[in-house]
Amino acid sequence: MAHIEGLGKGLLAVASKLGKLEISNERISKSREEIKQLLSEYKSQARDEVDPRLKSKLKNYLKKLNANSRVPFNFRLEVMDMFTDCMEILDDDLVPEVLNSYKVAIEVLYRHALKDQELAPPLAELAAMAMTLATRTLRKTARQYRRTSLIGIRETLSLAKIGLELTGKFNLEGTEGAHILRQQIALHEIIRSMRTRAMTVIDQDTVIDTIQENMHEDHLIDVRFIPRDSHIEALGFALIADVQKPHLPPRKSLRLNETTHDDIILCELDLLVTKLIEEMKSAQSLMGKSASHYHDEYAFVSEKLNRSMVSGLAVIDMMREKKRIYERKPPSPAIYIQIEEDVGQVMSTLAENKQRSPFILQSANTGEAGIWLAVDVSEGGYCLEKMPSDAKTAPSRFVVSDLVYVIALTRAETGSKDWKELDRSLCTVCWYEMEANNVARIGLAKLKNGEIRHARITSSLLSTEAPKDFAAFVENISENKLGIWTVGMDMAQDVCIEIHTANGVQTGKIGKPMKCGANYTVYSCKLE
């Protein structure tokens, strides 16, 4: 069986028992070899573009398997196991068919369990395996900044409902399978509720792994299926997933007292989130920092404290209802954004000569292939979009928390091919995602209250080290404190620097790092 810890033993025993009662034939053996060959071809093509005809063959094979109730149960499990081993490389349109295969297998086993109660316990195992695979798929798409297909979410919620109903019907709540089933349903809905598009892949893994580790304490969560027209009360933080509305994210609640209009899955998580937040507060106390300061410095503490802080902050962010700070609106006339790749080089050039305009808009001169369309613009930043035809130029090299330099452009005149420059600014990539139709979107937040300046390290702990020039974005924090944004620069605490401004030279001393991103570090600087 598929390699999922704690699951599969009961299913192997059931498959062996049912296999003696079912008929296998040459057609089954031939089918087994056929699917092995197809999956082998799929694996060999997975790194490149998979032939659509091959994907169609695999999809049709699963549909035929799911539609044939006379397929032996042990062979059905064997096929599911082969697909499970390929789950990490399966396309979104194949995953729902694999999940549907699990649902059909559960229905087959359920019919046998009605006649023989000894066959009931593996029902929870089978449902738990399906939910584990669904959660892994959701994690994979989150790491790729893609949205999981609605069909996949619909199949997952349907499986969760069936699994919870059957564990209750056969009194399986205390089994290992039921325990893992509840864990995976809760984890799946937590991931759906998080803003993973605004998290680095490393932070995604840190948060989800930490939450999953804490879920081994079964008393911290409670997951129930609530049929429609039921009155439900729950106190504390909970996520409510509507089984009939997979297009909607889970609803958040701190106090639930209502009659349901649809079938729902209720995940009560108050004890879990309380524990994670308390661990964050303990880590914060150890560091002797306020939460706001620590948020900017968590990358520089020990791994354990880092995990606690990152996870706690992500949980708080998940619980909070978001409100837009700046009003956004589609620009008119249209605004296009050129993203310069080498932000360090851009800053160095600008620091040397603020009056010079050194950039050649190469993408603009060769058409719009390398240009992003601004679909929303506000005082705080941009929401950019790139159409599927530009997929090869979509900057996968830009990741969440990158520092980038952007040039805002518009057409000089209506219908003209000439460009007119509107603005230039440093921005951070605050989120990134690929829509289901392969439209790439990226969110940029402008840096404010500062300018790109030439700076110099004048002295350091290594007295023999020569002065070193560098470019930095100098952010005004308070009257005698600056934020020094650097790219590719490591500076020790207490290093003395000079900052060249329009009004002369400022001197200061570097303090602790305040923040870091994928390609930059922000240091505090106390003016002298």
Q: CA-CA distance, 346 to 358, in Å (whole number)?
A: 9
Token pair of 396 as six digits: 């996968």
Cβ of 301: how many Cβ atoms within 10 Å? 17
Please report the pLDDT score of residue 364 as a whole number: 40
Residue 511, helix vs strand vs coil? strand
Cis amide linkage into residue 72, ω under 30° from 0: no
Q: CA-CA distance, 379 to 160, in Å (whole number)?
A: 43
pLDDT digits (tens, 9 = 90+) for 326-340: 666 667 678 888 888
Whether the pLDDT of residue 299 is over 60: the answer is no
38, 90 contact by CB (below 8 A): no
Percent of the chain topping pLDDT 70: 80
101, 80 contact by CB (below 8 A): yes
pLDDT digits (tens, 9 = 90+) for 37-64: 888 877 777 656 667 787 788 888 888 8
Q: CA-CA distance, 394 to 385, in Å (whole number)?
A: 9
Whether the pLDDT of residue 97 is over 50: the answer is yes
pLDDT digits (tens, 9 = 90+) for 175-214: 999 999 999 999 999 999 999 999 999 999 999 999 999 9
Q: CA-CA distance, 310 to 320, in Å (whole number)?
A: 15
Q: CA-CA distance, 297 to 175, in Å (whole number)?
A: 43
Please report the pLDDT score of residue 38 as a whole number: 81
Whether the pLDDT of residue 229 is over 60: the answer is yes
Token pair of 299 as six digits: 């990358």
Whether the pLDDT of residue 300 is over 60: the answer is no
Q: CA-CA distance, 336 to 375, in Å (whole number)?
A: 9
Q: CA-CA distance, 405 to 425, in Å (whole number)?
A: 6
Measuring CA to CA, which residue among 408, 376, 370 is closest to residue 389? 370
297, 515 contact by CB (below 8 A): yes
What is the sign of the dihedral through the CA atoms of 279, 285, 291 and 292? Answer: negative
Rounded to 5 degrees, what are φ and ψ at 373? -90, 130
Q: 25-39, 220-234, 236-250, 500-514: lowest mean pLDDT where? A: 25-39
Please report the pLDDT score of residue 290 as a whole number: 44
Of these ranges, 156-160, 195-199, 277-281, 365-369, the one predicted with the greatest mean pLDDT is: 156-160
**Higher-confidence residue: 371 or 210?**
210
406, 382 contact by CB (below 8 A): yes
Cβ of 155: how many Cβ atoms within 10 Å? 22
Q: Give one word for 289, left, alpha or beta, with left for phi > 0 and alpha for psi -120 to 50.
A: beta
CA of residue 396 relative to chain centroid, distance:
15
Please report the pLDDT score of residue 358 as a whole number: 44
179, 163 contact by CB (below 8 A): no
What is the sign of the dihedral through the CA atoms of 276, 280, 281 and 285? Answer: positive
- Is residue 387 classed exposed, middle or buried when 0-12, 13-18 and 19+ CB atoms within 10 A define those classes? middle
DSSP assignment string, 139-160: HHHHHTTBPPPHHHHHHHHHHH
Give the mean pLDDT of the chain: 81
Q: 21-30, 154-163, 275-284, 425-434: lowest mean pLDDT where? A: 21-30
* Sheet containing 222-226: order of strands: 222-226, 264-268, 231-242, 251-259
Whether the pLDDT of residue 216 is over 70: the answer is yes
Please report the pLDDT score of residue 359 as a whole number: 47
The CA-based angle 18-20-22, given to 5 degrees, is 70
